Amino acid sequence: MTTHKKIISVGYDSVNPIKIGPRLPLVFIGGPCAIETYDHSMFMAENIQKICEDLKIQWIFKSCYDKDCRSSPNSFHGVGLDHGLNILSKIRKEFGVPVVSDFSDVNDGNYIGEVCDLVQVPAYLCRQTSILKAAAKTKRPIHLKKGQFMSPWNMKNSVKKLEANGCDQILLTERGTFFGYNMLINDFTSLPIMNKTGYPVCYDATHSIQLPTSMGSISGGQREFIPALVRAAVALGINALFMEVHDNPSKALSDSNTVLDIKYLKLILSQAIEIHNVYLDLMERYGEDNVHQK
């Protein structure tokens, strides 16, 4: 069976929609893991915007107002719903760029879609029926991250939960898979498997190199592998690339061991764009992959 490949559209009102899907340009989703302050968010958005304009890549600003899965009670928990959505709203107006945040409380589902162009379901909550239902109710496209504990084929269950609640705009993301304790591995077969649902797929390069809670009360990471993994994932045919970026990773209030220093962003995105263009050219000239098991 050939699954009909879907294209999703991210952006509403004053923000021009970005199309994500097959045979389309690669889309970048990025920003600081957590919204830290208004000034910092604007600074990051401005600098990412410059890079993306130079490279002519469409992008979506990502930053979360609530970090509900911190390991330590002392870790930064986020600026909160009202303040966070207010900042995201100003960013989308100022830069004309779509914005995305995740949410972990079903009650937030009533508000997050009023601002965010794309609504993210966190990996740890990717099979929670109440969260998926609340996400679908926002009527926005949903960025559904594959749980580190989930098999890629079981993500179809989460997709069906979203669809059962009226959602037909989904982006599925690989972000690493648990390999024992405090360790993730990257199984890239997950990308074509999840793509078989018909929805576009994304690779989260900065969370995929995470070593979950390996530093006692916070997560570690091996960011030196980000460039190589990005090249591999893009060559495989992803539709969007996700990376959290920060101007000063060691001082980042969330995921300081995994966020990418913005000074590397242009280099990595440049390579990603070139490889994606080669991929599109190969598909155009040779057609889709057609090797079957039998």
Partner 1 sequence: MVKIMSIKNNKSIKVKDVMLPISEIPVVYSDAILKDALEKMSAYKIGIVCVVDQKNKFVGLITDGDIRRMLLTVQKPLSALFMEDVLDHISTSPTYVDPELSIDNATKLIGKKLVWDLPVVSKNMSLLGLFHLHKALEFYLKN
Distance CA(233)–CA(275), nearest Å, equals 10
Residue from 154, 214, 222, 270 binding partner 1 (CB under 8 A): 154
Per CB under 8 A, which of residues 28..87 are in contact with partner 1? none
Q: Considering beta carbons, is residue 96 or 192 the nearer one to partner 1?
A: 192
Beta partners for residue 96, in sequence order: none
- CA contacts within 13 A on the Cβ side of 98: 26
Nearest distance in Å: CB 116, partner 1: 29
Among residues 1, 251, 287, 291, the one that binds partner 1 under rule CB under 8 A = 1
Stretch that binds partner 1, among 83-91, 148-156, 226-234, 256-264 (CB under 8 A): 148-156
Minimum Å distance from CB 152 to partner 1? 8
Rule CB under 8 A: say whether 165 interacts with partner 1.
Answer: no
Minimum gap (Å) between residue 129 Cβ and partner 1: 18
| Binding range to partner 1, per CB under 8 A, among 19-27, 133-141, 150-158, 217-225 | 150-158
Q: Which run of H or E residues covers position 161?
A: helix 155-164
**Residue ranges in 167-226 that form contacts with partner 1 under rule CB under 8 A:** 193
| Contact stretch for partner 1 (CB under 8 A) within 41-49, 61-69, 80-88, 152-160 | 152-160
Task: Tell me how far apart the alpha carbons of residues 244 and 262 are, in angstroms, rounded to a whole number.
Answer: 9
Q: What is the residue-wise DSSP string for 182-250?
A: S-EE--TTHHHHHHTTSS-EEEEHHHHTEETTTTSSS-EE-GGGHHHHHHHHHHHT-SEEEEEEESSGG
Is residue 153 involved in binding partner 1 (CB under 8 A)?
yes
Query: From the list 16, 37, 110, 151, which residue makes contact with partner 1 (rule: CB under 8 A)?
Result: 151
Q: Do residues 103 and 133 make contact, with C-beta atoms less than 8 angstroms apart?
A: no
Would you say 3 or 72 has its CB closer to partner 1? 3
Selected range binding partner 1 among 65-73, 90-98, 123-131, 153-161, rule: CB under 8 A: 153-161
Q: Are 271 and 227 in contact (CB under 8 A)?
A: yes
Toward partner 1, which CB reaches closer, 56 or 292?
292
Q: Do 144 and 162 contact (CB within 8 A), yes or no?
A: yes
Which amino acid, 50? Answer: K
| Alpha carbon distance 10, 266 (integer Å) | 23
Nearest to 28 by CA among 59, 62, 55: 59
Distance CA 151, CA 261 (A): 30
- Which member of 156, 214, 261, 279 binds partner 1 (CB under 8 A)? 156
Residue 293 touching partner 1 (CB under 8 A):
yes
Which of 4, 251, 285, 294 is close enough to bind partner 1 by CB under 8 A? 294
Size of the site for partner 1 (CB under 8 A): 9
The secondary element (H helix, E strand) that includes residue 41 is helix 38-55
Q: Please give the residue ranges that form the binding site for partner 1 (CB under 8 A).
A: 1, 151, 153-154, 156-157, 193, 293-294
